[in-house]
A and B are shown apart, each in its own frame.
Chain A
């Protein structure tokens, strides 16, 4: 089983739509969870951290289910500028100084 698995995508949605991405991780000892965004030919950049109680940042909502080892990202009122690849990211194990492991990413295209 891969360390991090994501919806393969691509997702093609109209402006204003709501879209949800899902992700599962294999290591129950993982403690840190993130969603990153990667634009074409650019390095990944943090979109938001994911907390146990769930968290929201404007149009973006992240949820974590530790029992199911499942992470989600919801984007409301999609904008053209949301078009990018979204990477589900988990730390290798435990907390502290461990590397981050990346899912393959889900490509989102928001269409006018």
Chain B
């Protein structure tokens, strides 16, 4: 298993500003992912955070809006840029080793006002 520390746990931000969410894992992991969960909805994959290269984004998500860093095998950040109220959501960091289940951070609850 993996223990994931994600912060901040919640934030209230002004529209037009940016927020960077950090994800720290207690062991080296191959795969790190960022998901979004909007109110009453399931998890939607934003991107795969690749160590040493650019993240792989899902359809509907772009690097300019959600820049991602992954400097090593235990850490990643997701930035939500130029926020609008539609970005209000829970953002979840997830890790996975090959063929195993995914583990999640506790999530960041973002409210944009």
Contact = CB atoms under 8 A, between A and B. Distances in A.
Most buried by A among B33, B48, B99, B106: B99
Interface residues of B, number: 22
A34 B101 contact: yes
Interface in B81-113: 92, 94, 96, 98-99, 101-107
A103 B45 CA distance: 12
Contacts of A16: none
A97 B101 contact: no
A103 B96 CA distance: 18
B33 A104 contact: no
Most buried by B among A34, A42, A100, A101: A100
B45 A101 contact: yes
Interface stretch (A43-51, A55-63, A70-78): A43-51
Main secondary structure of the interface of B (DSSP, over half): strand
Contact of A96 (B99, B102, B105): B99
Contacts of A108: none
B89 to A, nearest CB: 13
B30 interface: yes
B3 interface: no
Nearest to B41: A104
Nearest to A44: B104
Interface of B: 30-31, 33, 35, 41-45, 48, 92, 94, 96, 98-99, 101-107
Interface of A: 31-32, 34, 42-46, 49, 87, 89, 95-97, 99-105
